[in-house]
Amino acid sequence: MAYYLEDQIDGLAIGERRPTINEYFLSSYSMAVYDGCEFGCPYCDGWAYRMRPFNETVRVATDLPLFAEQELAATDRGDLIGITALTDPYQPAEATYRLTRQLLQRLADCGQPCLILTKSQAVLEDLVLLERINQQSLAIVMFTLLTIDPYLSAKLEEKAPPPALRLEAIAELKRAGIPVGVAYLPVIPYVTDTDYMLSSTLHAIVEAGADFVVWDYLNIPSERHRARINEMIARIGTYPPSYYRDLYGNQALPDATYRADRDRELLARCDSLNLPVRAPHALYAGKLKPQNEAALLLKHTAFRDAVQGRIHMARLGRDLANRVYRGEASDTDLRESPLYPTLREILSRPSATAGS
Ligand code: SF4
């Protein structure tokens, strides 16, 4: 069990508004409820940003909900808050401290849209709060899922809840009318990236009833992290050491050719299963600030353009999305996009959700 260090907040609870909208999580803010994560998955980026063992000491800022309440007074109601940053909001500490629940209560009191990223079915204990938020604006839950193989999952993330519990929780949230996505990440080369793995995982996601999926690749930002990854894959099997060296070189992400190949494979498989590869527009239409909605639509279209080789269109879409999000796009700029009629319609809507 981790050591819980009770503390006071030493900055902002919700934080600064993001300079660009997060297309995976639809978020204008990315916040963490705890500092550290007892699940301690070896591939987690959290290891790279902490000096002390990330899974052994969990810092609990008990005044976080109070600070969040104060910051919410000045937060636009059309900006979605992503509870997504480098710690699981439903790790074991939540059973004692209920910081996530207290935060959700504040979000429900003002109808602030939010997205929770977790690996734990304990999120179901807050279903009533999620329903309250979702009735007023939007509450999305996303589960991280790397594989449905319980044996492999135990090797990769032994302290996190098993995949079957996550899949059951997805189905239960869907029955309750809460939108649910799956973060299929990280895709781990040589371990979870085979066609068979992709197929079995995507089928299970569809069967559970998830609304959409996103994915990304294993990030290796430092040598220290590389050693941890090597240790992790050595627990699974004997892999040729040159494989990762060739694939990553000195970069944090696997090479662009590999990613393009897996992106195409994943996209084709999702399309054949009718599984959206980003949150579908209908899920957030009219529920966020018009600039956010338009920026997301542009970024999500740009992702598909990039994977399918329309590189110029992808670049144009992303650039325009960032300008729209910042409120800097003119009508002439918008006309550059094939989505112009839809963008015009979205952006001419009054910002009904804005203001506190
Ligand atoms: S559950 Fe998520 S935040 Fe926690 S260690 Fe695992 S990957 Fe990191």
User: Has residue 178 been placed in a domain?
Assistant: yes
CB atoms within 10 A of CB 341: 10
User: Is residue 348 classed exposed, middle or buried when 0-12, 13-18 and 19+ CB atoms within 10 A define those classes?
Assistant: exposed
Task: Report d(CA 231, CA 228) in Å as an integer.
Answer: 5
Domain endpoint, select from 268, 284, 300 = 284
User: Has residue 355 been placed in a domain?
Assistant: no
134 and 64 in a single domain? The answer is yes
Nearest-CA residue for ligand 1 atom 7 is 44
Q: How far is the CA of 319 from the centre of ligand 1 (A)?
A: 31
pLDDT given at position 240 = 74
pLDDT given at position 354 = 43
Domain endpoint, select from 284, 304, 319 = 284
Low-confidence ranges of the chain (pLDDT < 50): 354-356
User: Has residue 353 been placed in a domain?
Assistant: no
* Secondary structure of residue 117 in the 3-state scheme: strand
Q: How far is the CA of 41 from the centre of ligand 1 (A)?
A: 5
> Could you tell me if 27 and 18 are in contact, meaning their C-beta atoms sit under 8 angstroms apart?
yes
Q: Strand 29-31 relative to strand 180-187: parallel, antiparallel, unpaired? A: unpaired
User: Has residue 30 been placed in a domain?
Assistant: yes
331 and 242 in a single domain? The answer is no
User: Has residue 354 been placed in a domain?
Assistant: no
198 and 296 in a single domain? The answer is no
If one counts the domains in the chain, the total is 2
Q: Is residue 44 within 6 Å of ligand 1 at its C-beta?
A: yes
Helix then strand count (H, E) for the chain reads 15, 8
228 and 310 in a single domain? The answer is no
What are the CA-CA distances from residue 348 to residues 283, 289, 340 (Å)? Answer: 19, 11, 12
> Could you tell me if 247 and 196 are in contact, meaning their C-beta atoms sit under 8 angstroms apart?
no
Give the chain's length. 356
118 and 205 in a single domain? The answer is yes
pTM of the model: 0.96
User: Best substitution site from 49, 87, 158, 184 to test ligand 1's pocket, by max atoms within 8 Å of Cβ?
Assistant: 87
Domain extent, residue 15, equals 3-284
Nearest to 30 by CA among 100, 104, 106, 82: 82
218 and 335 in a single domain? The answer is no
254 and 329 in a single domain? The answer is no
Q: How far is the CA of 118 from the centre of ligand 1 (A)?
A: 8
User: Best substitution site from 24, 119, 158 to test ligand 1's pocket, by max atoms within 8 Å of Cβ?
Assistant: 119
235 and 341 in a single domain? The answer is no
> Could you tell me if 183 and 248 are in contact, meaning their C-beta atoms sit under 8 angstroms apart?
no
pLDDT given at position 356 = 43
42 and 124 in a single domain? The answer is yes
Nearest to 214 by CA among 186, 175, 194, 174: 186
Domain endpoint, select from 284, 305, 335 = 284
User: Best substitution site from 59, 86, 187 to test ligand 1's pocket, by max atoms within 8 Å of Cβ?
Assistant: 86
Q: How far is the CA of 85 from the centre of ligand 1 (A)?
A: 9
CB atoms within 10 A of CB 51: 5
User: Has residue 356 been placed in a domain?
Assistant: no
Handedness of CA 248, 162, 172, 205 (dihedral sign): positive
Nearest-CA residue for ligand 1 atom 6 is 41
37 and 171 in a single domain? The answer is yes
> Could you tell me if 107 and 132 are in contact, meaning their C-beta atoms sit under 8 angstroms apart?
no
CATH number of the domain residue 93 falls in = 3.80.30.30
pLDDT given at position 51 = 64
**Helix, strand, coil share of the chain (percent; to 5):** 45, 10, 40
Structure tokens at 71: 């910051």
136 and 56 in a single domain? The answer is yes
User: Has residue 352 been placed in a domain?
Assistant: no
119 and 244 in a single domain? The answer is yes
User: Has residue 71 been placed in a domain?
Assistant: yes
Residue with tokens 């993001």: 18
